[in-house]
Structure formats: C-alpha cells, structure tokens
Amino acid sequence: MCNEDSINTVDALVMYWHNTEPDELLGKVYTDCAPRYFEEKMSIWKHGLTYFWGQLDREHRHKLMMAAWEKYGLVVQRRSTYGYS
C-alpha cells in the first residue's frame, strides 16, 4: 500500500540520484572498495537509477536509501507537511 512515508522515501531517493555527484553517491554506497570495483560500479551508474538499483544487493540498497534520506529526508517531510510536491 502506498502512503505518505513511501512517497517521501521515493522522493528522497530520486532527489538524491538527480542532485548528487556520482562520486559522492557511489562513495556512500560502496565504502572502502578497490578503485577498479568503484569504476565498475560507475559504469553501472551511467545506465540510470532503475538499472543501478536492480544490481544492488539488500545491504547496498540500504546504504543508498540511508544516504538519500540523510541528505533529503527533512526536505521531503517538510514538503509533504505543507502540501508541496
């Protein structure tokens, strides 16, 4: 079921994806990885959010969502409180 929290979570993820430099985003998802591995993930990032999401395991999806919520959670909550889209 879709509720306000679900919409806020998706909004935060999409805002994070579109407003965060790839190096920063990937650095939050893949901490302490080898440069070659990071480059491989960068090539996957270039295919877009849905493709990138599909290749993540649950741990890395969680890291991505936590980073998105950390950066944009308050923004989307404030918007939903005041009825902004």
What is the C-alpha to C-alpha distance for residues 72 and 29, in angstroms, rounded to an integer? 16
Per-residue pLDDT tens digits for 13-61: 999 999 999 999 999 999 888 999 999 999 999 999 999 999 999 999 9
Instruction: Answer yes or no: is pLDDT of 62 > 70.
Output: yes
Number of domains comprising the chain: 1
Is pTM beyond 0.85? Reply is: yes
Instruction: Answer yes or no: is pLDDT of 83 > 80.
Output: no
Q: What range does the domain containing 55 cover? A: 4-82
Instruction: Answer yes or no: is pLDDT of 6 > 60.
Output: yes
Phi–psi pair at 81, nearest 5 degrees: -65, -40
What is the C-alpha to C-alpha distance for residues 40 and 19, in angstroms, rounded to an integer? 21
Report the pLDDT value the prediction gives residue 16, as an integer from 0 to 100: 97
- Of the pLDDT bands very low, low, confident and very high (cuts 50, 70, 90), residue 85 is low
What is the C-alpha to C-alpha distance for residues 77 and 64, in angstroms, rounded to an integer? 18
Report the pLDDT value the prediction gives residue 4, as an integer from 0 to 100: 80
Q: Residue 34 belongs to what H/E stretch?
A: none
